[in-house]
A and B are shown apart, each in its own frame.
Chain A
Amino acid sequence: MLKPNDMAIDSEVRLSDGTEVALSVLLRQGRTMVVFLRHFG
């Protein structure tokens, strides 16, 4: 069974509405590393 890390590889980023639009605009500008934090600290 694939682990989540492997399952995500090659998947297309899903972009629909709201907050995702902000990210989609940035992603279209080129290769991007998105870092999800636990908190701003």
Chain B
Amino acid sequence: MQLHRDKARFDALGIRIILVGMGSPKQAEAFRKNHDLSFTIICDPRKILYKAYGLIEAGITGIVSPMTIIRGIGALGRGHLPGLPSGDIFQLSGIFIIDSNMVVRYAHYASNISDTPSTEEIIRAAAAIT
């Protein structure tokens, strides 16, 4: 997992990373072990947090499109095997940086299933937060 590889960079910026997923605690624990993660993981099978943050579900073009196929092949080429779908396969992802005053300072709403900001983009945004 890219975020885990870059964890030290986020640590240096004083940013803690929390993962939210739709799966069960058992699935989360397997995920943590498979990727040797040290992040806090919140299970949100009812998608309460997803809805609270305004994360939407993809239409069919958000799942199968030339862009998602090309990026999917690219990810496979880099050795990223897709995991088994769990929860809502149409649910899109998102990334938010929230400051200590509970204010959102960076937000990325995925527009399709392959839309993920680069670590560099996130690091730049995080570093700009005072």
Same complex: yes
| Interface residue ranges, A against B (CB under 8 Å) | 4-6, 8-16, 18-20, 22-24, 26-41
Give the tally of cross-chain contacts (CB within 8 A).
Answer: 147
Q: Once the chains bind, are B95 and A19 in contact (CB under 8 Å)?
A: no
A13: which B residues are within 8 A, CB to CB? 98, 102-104
| Interface residue ranges, B against A (CB under 8 Å) | 3, 10, 13-23, 27-28, 30-31, 40, 42, 44, 46, 48-50, 52-55, 82-87, 89, 91-100, 102-109, 113, 122, 126, 129
- Grouping DSSP codes into helix (H, G, I), strand (E, B) and loop, the B interface class, with mixed when no group exceeds half, is mixed
B97: which A residues are within 8 A, CB to CB? 31-34
Q: Once the chains bind, are B103 and A40 in contact (CB under 8 Å)?
A: no
| Partner of A31 from B21, B82, B129 at Cβ < 8 Å | B129
Closest Cβ of chain A: how far from B32's Cβ, in Å?
9
Q: Which of A11, A30, A37, A40 has the most CB of B within 10 A?
A: A40
